[in-house]
A and B are shown apart, each in its own frame.
Chain A
Amino acid sequence: MSVLECNNVSIRYKTGDLKQIGLKDYVLKKITRNYHVTEFWADRDVSFSLEKGDMLGIVGTNGAGKSTLLKAVTGIMVPTKGTVRVEGNIAALLELGSGFDPELTVRENTYLRGALLGYTREFMDQKYDEIIGFAELEKFQDYMFKQLSSGMKSRLAFSIACLVEPDILILDEVLSVGDEAFKEKSSRRIKGILANGVTGILVSHSVQQVRDLCNKCLWLDHGNQIAFGPANTVCNAYSAFLFLDKAHKRLPKNEDELNDISNRFRLVRYIGGRERSHPEEFDYTVDFEESEPARIQRIWRIVDRLSPAERQDMLDEIDGVNKLPAEIDENDPANIKASVAIEVAQEEAEESSAPKKNENQPEG
């Protein structure tokens, strides 16, 4: 039985005339039949379901509809179409810094926010010191909220919000709060909460974070659901989409395409890693100054030229290597196959490039 289920959730925003105009314009435009409301679908037919203990990552470029989808899940917005079914209570940490009152003190704001999140007064009395301690704001309790630095504000917000023991936890870009030390602390806190079998949703611009924390991933693009599946597969395809140039990037249309792109990206990552760790294996000089996107694009073109069978062979080897990590023989068949691949690539390519392979260097 799933804990959270979204069925064909579509959310329509209304923009256009209604927002800017005042009463006079409204009446005039209504009379002259000039009143236009433009619609804008922030999400279209998004469907997914989560079992208990699942951790879903939502990825997508800016304006993909991630935050809007979360608003539907938390009940802040009602989907224009489709249904959201939730079992258990939700705690949502959305854009933490907002919603505080700048004129009230830290203490007052802490209680107010606690109340907004549905805690009881007893709970807050009990936890208040812990919250302030975690946020490291002991000296600032009676400061006005607006006097805090922005880092302090988000630290406070995080500390209040992460006290929750919900059934479903929603995190929207909250793990990038504060300085490095606090980030470390907060991410440990979140992992602790998740370890208790909470179902979670994480929106993040860091694909790495999604890979680390999630087992499922949803990819949205301009409101459309591109893929929903295992976190690594979707993250691979999404990273490929982010890094590649216009000519090569594409959105997977079905599961086969998704897997194909994901696999190619694994190869690219693997070869890229190998280039750096063992540059001597390559018959061209590896440029260590090369930017990440440039490298990925270059290697992608190599991988592109391999036949599907060759790619499959290489993947099998990576998997094989992954199963048996540690020492790998320079002369094992994997290397030979890889060099075949490289030769094929070099024949066709004018740009200097080629890889070899082995070692434990998976998609992560």
Chain B
Amino acid sequence: MLKKYEKYKFLFSELVKRDFKKKYKRTILGMIWSVLSPLLNVLVLWLIFSTLYKKDQPHFVIYLFSGTLVMSFYSECTNGCMRALTSNAGIFSKINVPKILFLFSKSVQTLINFGLTLIIYFVFCLFQHLSFKYAIVLIYPIIMMLIFNMSVGMILSALFVFFRDIEYLYSIFMLFLNYLSAIFYPVTIVPERYQKLFYINPVYVFIKFFRMIMLDTQIPGWQIWALIAFDTAFFLTIGCLMYKKYDHEFLYYL
């Protein structure tokens, strides 16, 4: 494994670089967009929903930001990974490289974007005089999110090779997910007995983790840690199984 890492280290860094450069090619603001777009997103949501929910939720901006931060990472990473195979088909049908590498590089590129946004997020927290007592614990959900997003990306990319419909289905799914992840409303607007249902949604669990650390300044209970581990392991297993089965089949469909 380590040997393999050594072998592909250079290729990996070049791929990340390429993905990064391509993303901002021909844009005037370049990388600033990684920061600007989530900010604008938060701003819009804040303008619309702050009047509604401000009194239910202190530090409503951070509440919003936690949601969009996690959701944009998830959305960007899974969408990028979904297309990683088809857009790199020209390469791996001519050169023998592990296909999964293209998903890795895409994920890491989105992770860098996420990192930039995270800095802004912390700056906001600072302005809101929130405590950073447990902020270091966020490393756990961030690492798990990276694995989780890539696992979902693996599944999507495999499906996307076989059925291009996935692209459209997934964008509709993302719309639902956006509404169901309690990004811009407090969960308390739902009757109490249904509130538990939110935990079925893995993205919500990640958002919840962030909010508990930054807003409530408390370390989430073991159930949330375990739930995150379970969700990640579950999707990772499916993703790996699919790649194991179809890795050599992709070529026929591209």
A residues apposed to B, CB below 8 Å:
13-14, 18-19, 22-24, 26, 71, 74-78, 90, 92, 94-95, 98-99, 101, 103-104, 108, 111-112, 115-121, 124
Q: Chain B residues with Cβ under 8 A from A78's Cβ?
A: 248
Out of A76, A117, A118, name the residue touching B93 (CB < 8 Å): A76
Q: Chain B residues with Cβ under 8 A from A103's Cβ?
A: 22, 25
Say whether B54 faces chain A, with CB atoms less than 8 Å apart.
Answer: no
- Shortest beta-carbon distance, B109 to chain A, in Å? 14
Say whether B214 faces chain A, with CB atoms less than 8 Å apart.
Answer: no
Out of A18, A23, A99, A120, name the residue touching B95 (CB < 8 Å): A99
A-B contact pairs, 28 of them (CB 8 A): A18-B162, A18-B252, A18-B253, A19-B252, A22-B163, A71-B93, A74-B96, A75-B96, A76-B94, A78-B248, A90-B96, A94-B94, A95-B94, A98-B94, A99-B91, A99-B95, A101-B22, A103-B22, A104-B18, A104-B21, A104-B22, A108-B17, A111-B14, A115-B14, A116-B91, A118-B7, A120-B10, A124-B10
- Shortest beta-carbon distance, A29 to chain B, in Å? 13
Known pairs A22-B164, A101-B18, A108-B21; A13 contacts B94 (CB<8 A): no
Q: Give Cα distance in the complex from A90 to B97, angstroms.
A: 12
Q: What are the nearest 9 A-B pairs in CB distance?
A: A115-B11, A23-B165, A115-B14, A99-B91, A23-B163, A78-B248, A75-B96, A99-B90, A121-B10
A77 touches B248 (CB 8 A): yes
Say whether B15 faces chain A, with CB atoms less than 8 Å apart.
Answer: yes
Which residue of A18, A95, A101 has the most chain B CB atoms within 10 A of its CB atom? A101
Q: Give Cα distance in the complex from A237 to B18, angstroms.
A: 48
Q: Chain A residues with Cβ under 8 A from B164's Cβ?
A: 22
Q: Chain B residues with Cβ under 8 A from A24's Cβ?
A: 165
A76 touches B252 (CB 8 A): no
Which residue of B7, B18, B95, B253 has the most chain A CB atoms within 10 A of its CB atom? B95
Q: Chain B residues with Cβ under 8 A from A90's Cβ?
A: 96
Which residue of A18, A117, A118, A124 has the most chain B CB atoms within 10 A of its CB atom? A118
What residue of chain A has the Cβ atom nearest to residue B87's Cβ? Answer: A101
Q: Chain A residues with Cβ under 8 A from B252's Cβ?
A: 13-14, 18-19
- Give the size range of B's interface with the partner: 20 to 34
What residue of chain A has the Cβ atom nearest to residue B88's Cβ? Answer: A99
Out of A77, A104, A108, A116, name the residue touching B251 (CB < 8 Å): A77
What residue of chain B has the Cβ atom nearest to residue A172's Cβ? Answer: B94
Known pairs A92-B95, A92-B96, A99-B95; A116 contacts B163 (CB<8 A): no
Say whether B234 faces chain A, with CB atoms less than 8 Å apart.
Answer: no
Out of A13, A22, A104, A121, name the residue touching B165 (CB < 8 Å): A22
Q: Give Cα distance in the complex from A116 to B91, angstroms.
A: 9
A112 touches B18 (CB 8 A): yes
- Shortest beta-carbon distance, A217 to chain B, in Å? 24
What residue of chain B has the Cβ atom nearest to residue A78's Cβ? Answer: B248
What residue of chain A has the Cβ atom nearest to residue B254's Cβ? Answer: A19
- Shortest beta-carbon distance, A88 to chain B, in Å? 14
Out of B14, B94, B165, B253, name the residue touching A99 (CB < 8 Å): B94
Interface 1/0s, chain B 8-27, versus A by CB < 8 A? Answer: 00110111011001100100
A119 touches B10 (CB 8 A): yes
Interface 1/0s, chain B 150-171, versus A by CB < 8 A? Answer: 0000000000001111100100
Q: Chain B residues with Cβ under 8 A from A116's Cβ?
A: 11, 91, 95, 97
Say whether B92 faces chain A, with CB atoms less than 8 Å apart.
Answer: yes
- Shortest beta-carbon distance, B155 to chain A, in Å? 15
Out of B25, B95, B248, name the residue touching A117 (CB < 8 Å): B95
Q: Chain B residues with Cβ under 8 A from A75's Cβ?
A: 96
Q: Give Cα distance in the complex from A120 to B97, angstroms.
A: 15
- Shortest beta-carbon distance, A36 to chain B, in Å? 15
Q: Give Cα distance in the complex from A101 to B105, angstroms.
A: 15
- Shortest beta-carbon distance, B112 to chain A, in Å? 17
- Shortest beta-carbon distance, B100 to chain A, in Å? 15
What residue of chain B has the Cβ atom nearest to residue A24's Cβ? Answer: B165
A76 touches B96 (CB 8 A): yes
Q: Chain B residues with Cβ under 8 A from A120's Cβ?
A: 10
Q: Give Cα distance in the complex from A92 to B95, angstroms.
A: 7
What residue of chain A has the Cβ atom nearest to residue B163's Cβ? Answer: A23
Out of B11, B18, B163, B253, name the residue touching A108 (CB < 8 Å): B18
